[in-house]
A and B are shown apart, each in its own frame.
Chain A
Amino acid sequence: MAHRPIPSRRPEALLALLLALVATAAPLAAAELDPEPILRGLARPAPSRTPFVELRGSAMLKQPLRVQGEYRREADGRLVRQGTSPYAETTTLGSGEAVIERAGRAPRRIALAQVPELAAVRAGFGALLAGDRELLLRTYDVHASGQRERWTLRLVPRDPRLAAGLRQIELHGRGSELRCVESQPARGELQRTLMAGAAAQAAGVEDPAALAALCRDPAA
């Protein structure tokens, strides 16, 4: 029987990130050497939008599911994930709940408190876009590596309860462009989302290795 406990909930972490969505960009004080300019460069005034290509792998699937669409940060701070292919689905993250709308179905409402990974992963870069460094650093240990034009940010959850479900998130980018999010759950497969320029380049690319390369090596 496929019964396992629902992954532990960590409301603080996701709340922090959610708040970050709504928060205005705070002036950044100099602290760590590397991440600061990157974080500063990633902050975008709302509203903003960016295309994505997400690859969802599962032991139950023959090959990863590929979903395309765009992320939008609305003026009121909500983060919208609008999938357009292979089917239409809109997820709106706001005031503590996610609303999932599909064509011909009643909207499904899910409290973010129940799926901290949802908020931690999906809204992680939303916090970056909002530029709330303080909340981000409270939730994650942030390590930067690479160069200014080809960087990687590694976010490791500080809270052990969140860490029980999520090992780390890696963000790859170029200058002020976030190009890929890789999240590694504690159990299960690595999940990859290509964004912005990388999403555009992924059009027509099917090979998993090529997609992975697109994600990790923006210069490629």
Chain B
Amino acid sequence: MSGARLPRLGLLLGWLLLLALGGTWLGRGLNVEEDLRRFLPDPRTPAQVLLVDELGEGPGSRLLLLALDGAPPARLAEASLALRAALETAPEIELASNGEDRGLDAVPEHLLPYRYLLSPALRAQALDRHYLAQALEQRLQDLGSPVADLVEPLLPSDPTLETLALAEAWQPPQAPNRQYGVWFDRAGRQALLMVQTRAAGFDSAGQQAAVAAIQAAFARVREGLGEGPAPRLELSGPGAFGVAIRDRTEREMRWIGTADTVGLLLLLALAYRRWSMPLLGALPLASGGLAGLGAVALLFPGVHGITLAFGFTLIGVAQDYPIHFFSHLRPGQSPRASVRALWPTLVTGVASTCIAYATFLFSGVEGLRQLAVFTIVGLAVAAASTRWLLPRLVTPARRDPARSAPLARLWRWIERLPRPRAALGVLALLALAAVALAPGGFWQNDLSRLTPVPPAELERDARLRAELGAPDVRYMLMLQDVDAEAVLQASERLLPVLEQARADGLVEGYDLAARYLPSQASQRQRQARLPAPEVLRAELDAALAGQPFQDDAFGPFLADVEAARSGAPLQPSDLAGTPLQLAVGGLLLEGQGQATALVSLSGVGDVQALAARTGAHGAQLLDLKQASESLVAQWRLRLLAALGAAAVLLAAAVWWALRTPARVLRVLAPMGLSTLLILAVLRLCGVELNLFHLVSLILAAGLGLDYALFFDHAGDDRDDQLRTLHAVIVCSLTTLLVFSLLALSSIPVLRAIGSTVALGVLFNFVLALLVARRPARAEAA
């Protein structure tokens, strides 16, 4: 005995060391991607392309909405000003706005002369003596008014105040109410800000950093406010939701994981009465998981977060491998002999499951290919380590489950149960009818339903969005042509149509690049209307006659107009590095030989009418929700096709292993019927199925296959049946424990996985017992 202990300890330590090394290597080198694009099929329609773009880097997905409340408006306004100033310097934040009128700062200095090409005010108005005289009269009154300090520095270069007209025109199209100079909600209780993060919407680490930066800045602002009621900060928007979801998922996973670990340890200790079993039982799954991850890391540039989640769900079946082995240990038989007897059955289960997953390799979706590699390698390594490593670590058993009195009583009770045949057929038909006829949609394609954002927060987001006039996240208009100039011209033709649509109440607001940057053609037209220097000088002199202004007060104005008149029209590339780049960049996308102008909409009323009217001018309505749903449906279609092939391959593999049709039927029927029953229960409960249900159904089927295979393997031998019963009871209890806890989660994704698998374990256990198990021979004493 003591001679065997030393190599055993060495092997155990070696194995643990290997796992630790592998874990460290992966922890350092593994590149986990959060970009949803990697997991979706290739986009096909323009809407899908745009959606995938938007998901990744679009300005909509980078928008965070901030609301300050809980203090008097004046104090909130002060906090809003301080917060915007603080955020301006934060490296995580690209742009923060709160409606603060920043006067000259709104127009970048080197673009200032261009105001005469950009401002809509001069579209029809010439810079003649009448117009100038009128302007000078107003400016004189401005100088005598309380806003003199604000206006005076502008006057020498800008007597018509074109800068202010431009800043006003560039305000958000649906600018919110203002109090104390900053945005407030209509009720006047919340100060509002909009923040654009530098990180993409689905870069959850980047979003987390941005949210943390905002919260830190807010904490400093609140401290700096001095005595009085402290304002509260509310954050909303895709990024904020993502961070909140991540935090919540992590929190829930922490308690679920703790409860699972404790429960599993207790269960295994109770089942085997040996302290070493829980530890040893965890080794194959841990090895499988690490090996699967390693394989994906070697074969693919990065592992997607969803691959990890799905993958670890699917290889959960490997937790059963050591349990089957442990339950078949008995005194008088070496562990190695036990595992050898079990191996053909185990390998049948593993091999047929792996063959089934191999179909994912040909699905054409990168995420599914990763999943296939992960599960196949993971399951194979878990099975192999159960077969070749575990028996060397386990000491021979002192107890045989077949000798357990309670188990024997249970078994006798089960023996007396009727063996349904026809009843199962009826049950299958009923389940099929329920699946087909239950009311409600079959599939849930709406990705947002999977995010556990509480309805109250979604409502708040919608309200803030409406208050801020933030763009609709679902509908957009799109114009496409060969280059930026062409789409800008098309946008300008679309403008009156949009304005009419707004007047008619089809839409509350819209925004497009042409609002900031007119086409070159329009800019040239305006240049042509600007007077030559000597003409302007004469007109200005005439206008100045009789006014109290100094004769040479407006020299800089003459210079600016001449700069605008003689310069090259502004191009999109000239805006680089200015705040305008953000506004225009998000709405004007330039690609190879093609440019796209987007029209963001807010407060969309009648979509169809809007699409019809703008369609006549070459604009195409994009429904991003429909596009995302079509992408999900496409994904599911590929998955279902792969699953169909997988089912056939699995049946073939089982057939090849078992050879007799009756056995094949006994093994496959429980699995098939369970799947049908799970679907029926879910449908009757009004659940709409999503991808996570599908993946869970695959796991449930894998578990069921193993249960049935082991009952079949036990044959008609009473002792073997008792040991198998022990194993399957422990397996199903552990799985049930893990997944019922998941089913209790508040997060829809976890709940979907948990409820589906928990139901699957129940059905598969009962059906395997009733169908796959053979009637035993007379009780051996």
Contacts and interface: CB of A to CB of B under 8 A. Distances in A.
Interface of A: 1-7, 9, 11-12, 15, 19, 54, 56, 58-63, 65, 67, 81, 83, 87, 89, 91, 93, 95-98, 100, 102, 108, 110-115, 117-118, 122, 165, 185, 188
Main secondary structure of the interface of A (DSSP, over half): mixed
A87 B141 CA distance: 8
Contacts of B105: 5-6
A1 B112 contact: yes
Interface in B162-182: 178-182
Contact of A89 (B141, B157, B180): B141
Given A96-B181, A122-B146, 6 more contacts: A5-B105, A11-B74, A19-B74, A58-B143, A100-B147, A118-B150
Contacts of B179: 95-97, 111
A102 B147 CA distance: 13
A128 B314 CA distance: 77
Interface string B72-111: 0110011001000000000000000000111111000100
A220 to B, nearest CB: 26
A183 to B, nearest CB: 10
10 contacts: A1-B559, A3-B157, A11-B180, A58-B148, A59-B550, A95-B179, A96-B181, A98-B146, A115-B146, A118-B147
Interface in B539-557: 548-550, 553, 556
Interface string B204-227: 000000000000000000000000
A98 B144 CA distance: 15
- Most central of A6, A98, A108 by chain B CB within 10 Å: A6
Interface in B145-167: 145-150, 152-158
A11 B550 CA distance: 34
B393 interface: no
Contacts of A117: 149
A108 B146 CA distance: 12
B686 to A, nearest CB: 51
Given A58-B152, A113-B77, A185-B149, A65 B181 contact: no
B150 A6 contact: yes
A111 B181 contact: yes
B81 A56 contact: no
Given A3-B157, A61-B549, A65-B548, A115 B149 contact: yes
A148 to B, nearest CB: 32
A107 to B, nearest CB: 12
A3 B149 contact: no
B157 A2 contact: yes
Contacts of B277: none
B140 interface: yes
Contact of B81 (A9, A61, A89, A102): A9
Nearest to B82: A11
Contacts of A102: 141
Interface in B710-748: none
A198 to B, nearest CB: 19
Interface string B653-677: 0000000000000000000000000
B560 interface: yes
Contacts of B146: 81, 91, 93, 98, 100, 115, 118, 122
Given A2-B156, A6-B104, A113-B180, A89 B549 contact: no
Closest 8 CB pairs of A and B: A111-B181, A113-B181, A96-B180, A2-B156, A60-B553, A67-B144, A65-B144, A2-B157
